[in-house]
Amino acid sequence: MIGLPALTEATWPAASVRRVGPWAIREGQGGGQRVSAAGAAAGWRDADIPQAEAAMAALGQEPLFVIWPEDASLDAALAARGYRINDPVVAYAAPCAALADPAPPFLTTFPHWPPLGIAAALWAEAGTGPARLAVMDRATGPKCAILGRAGDRAAGVAFVAFHGELAMLHALEVAPQMRRQGVAHNILRAAAGWAQDQGAQTLALLVTEANAGARALYASLSMHVVGQYHYRKR
């Protein structure tokens, strides 16, 4: 059983998380929805929603809530207040041992930390800028960047972080002109191998529900859906 909320929190952490009434209020500092969305604790009431909205506004953030499968009541309450569903996300996972075998071809992937300049440049070209690199820096467990190469050129990059017996891959990007050359495939296998070396049993990742191409790749590697969530945005 994969505890996705805890795994995502540990491997892609917010700048701060504080309790305000029944809410976990995350300060994202520009690091994206995952580190900026408020979450509900048990015992919340509809009348408590403005409290969360005010706490997010105080941080200069737009009201945004993360909705896990157990949050059906909150989902309905936010919908009634005019919040729309935003970016449904699917989680995939597979055993590290299965993903890591066979290993990627020699010199096609390079696990390293901190990120090389070329890795940061690839992320920047894909819109993963300094605020998201700061999220990676905040992860406190074992972590690495994986640079993927094709045809003697830097072609892709991803971030992997470790938590317990689980590892999670984030920010997988492949340069548009280097796609369909097996770069993402090699990065995933390298990530699984690195995670296995750290003692992880399972590699997980998150992808938007609408990203059919990436989901097809993960399914082709025998990764399976292990969870889902979405956001509600006003």
Closest CA to 202 of 219, 220, 182, 223: 223
Res 2: pLDDT: 76
Over the stretch 14-38, which tens digit does the pLDDT of each residue have?
999 999 999 999 999 999 999 999 9
Structural domains of the chain ordered from first start: 4-88 (no CATH), 92-228 (3.40.630.30)
pTM: 0.95
Q: What is the pLDDT of residues 146-203, one digit of tens each?
A: 999 999 899 999 999 999 899 999 999 999 999 999 999 999 999 999 999 999 999 9
pLDDT of residue 89: 98
Phi/psi at 119 (5° precision): -65, -45
230 pairs with which residues across the strands?
67
φ/ψ of residue 157, rounded to 5: -160, 155
Residue 6 DSSP one-character state: H
**CA–CA–CA angle 157, 161, 162 (5° rounding):** 150
Cβ pair 41, 213 in contact under 8 A: no
The three-state secondary structure class of 18 is strand
pLDDT tens-digit series, residues 110-161: 999 999 999 999 999 999 999 999 999 999 999 999 999 999 899 999 999 9
3-state secondary structure of 125: helix
Asked if residue 1 has pLDDT above 60, the reply is no
* Residue for token pair 């990203």: 211
Please identify which residue in the block is written with the tokens 């909205």.
53
Structural contact between residues 68 and 169, judged by C-beta atoms closer than 8 angstroms: no
DSSP class per residue in 166-207: EEEEEEEEE-GGGTTSSHHHHHHHHHHHHHHHTT-SEEEEEE
Put residue 223 in one of left, alpha, beta given phi > 0 → left and psi -120 to 50 → alpha. Answer: beta
Count of Cβ atoms closer than 10 Å to residue 155 Cβ: 24
